[in-house]
């Protein structure tokens, strides 16, 4: 006798959490995410459909395959994954599970998703992030990004949190996680939370984040200029 799993018909889509690396297209016009394990070579947008990473023609998620999007039920479970060395630069995603899904003890494997919010951790120096800057690696056509504070952005390719949210579209909300309060202010810092409610305009949070990013770049250029003027051209 073949056992069948019980079917669920929730009144609202289930939600979950996962981690991913933020990415920026080569031309700087699109933003998205790429996974940290299976399927990590395939960047996806805020709203995306899963496909089989093995090239099979079945729909995801297939029972006899491990394809499809993955997420966990508990936020703390996803946050624990950020402790792993190779995942330290990843961001925490708040997910709405759409379409067909398979429920497991710790989470879901599913066909379609919407990323509702992305929480960006602190800069590598410990300060609160105001931007996402080139992480030094990527996928074909996509640059991977990592959290950066105003002092660490320097001359790297970067976008403010507000700009990333706007480029990603579909109502994505980007939140700056905890950092060193002495560097970027307390939790009430207007740059800490960015909600692109007006994608065609710039609100106060966007202007604050953009100003911090521009100031960091200006400081970096001024330090380089002072070094050149003081010691001559570098060899």
Q: How many Å is the Cα radius of gyration of the chain?
A: 20
Q: What is the pLDDT of residue 57?
A: 83
Higher pLDDT, 199 or 145: 145
For the record, the structure tokens of 38 come out as: 């299976």
Q: What is the pLDDT of residue 200?
A: 47
Which residues pair with residue 49 across a beta bridge?
Answer: 112
Higher pLDDT, 196 or 111: 111
Mean per-residue pLDDT over the chain, rounded: 83
Crossing angle of the two packed helices 161-168 and 204-231, in degrees rounded to 10: 120
Cα separation, 184 vs 212, whole angstroms: 10
Q: What is the pLDDT of residue 108?
A: 95
Residues 188-208 have a mean pLDDT of: 48
CB 195 within 8 A of CB 173: yes
In this prediction, residue 120 has a pLDDT band, given cuts at 50, 70 and 90, of very high
Within 78-224, strands assigned E span 91-103, 107-120, 131-139, 142-148, 158-160, 173-176, 193-194
Residues 65-83 have a mean pLDDT of: 95
Higher pLDDT, 52 or 116: 116
Higher pLDDT, 54 or 77: 77
Q: What's the pTM? A: 0.76
């Amino acid at each position: 006798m073949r056992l069948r799993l019980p079917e669920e018909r929730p009144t609202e889509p289930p939600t979950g959490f996962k981690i991913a690396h933020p990415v920026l297209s080569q031309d700087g016009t699109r933003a998205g995410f790429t996974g940290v394990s299976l399927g990590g070579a395939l960047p996806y947008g805020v709203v995306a459909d899963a496909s089989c990473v093995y090239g099979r023609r079945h729909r995801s998620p297939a029972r006899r395959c491990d394809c499809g999007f993955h997420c966990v039920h508990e936020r703390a479970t996803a946050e624990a994954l950020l402790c792993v060395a190779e995942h330290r630069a990843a961001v925490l995603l708040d997910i709405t599970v759409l379409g067909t899904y398979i429920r497991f003890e710790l989470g879901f494997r599913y066909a379609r998703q919407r990323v509702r919010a992305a929480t960006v951790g602190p800069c590598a120096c410990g300060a609160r992030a105001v931007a996402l800057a080139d992480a030094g690696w990527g996928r074909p056509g996509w640059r991977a990004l990592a959290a950066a504070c105003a002092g660490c952005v320097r001359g790297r390719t970067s976008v403010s949190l507000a700009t990333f949210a706007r480029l990603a579209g579909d109502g994505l909300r980007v939140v700056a996680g905890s950092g060193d309060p002495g560097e970027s202010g307390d939790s009430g810092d207007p740059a800490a939370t960015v909600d692109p409610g007006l994608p065609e305009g710039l609100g106060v949070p966007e202007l604050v984040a953009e100003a911090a990013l521009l100031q960091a770049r200006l400081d970096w250029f001024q330090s380089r200029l002072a070094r050149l003027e003081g010691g001559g051209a570098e060899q």
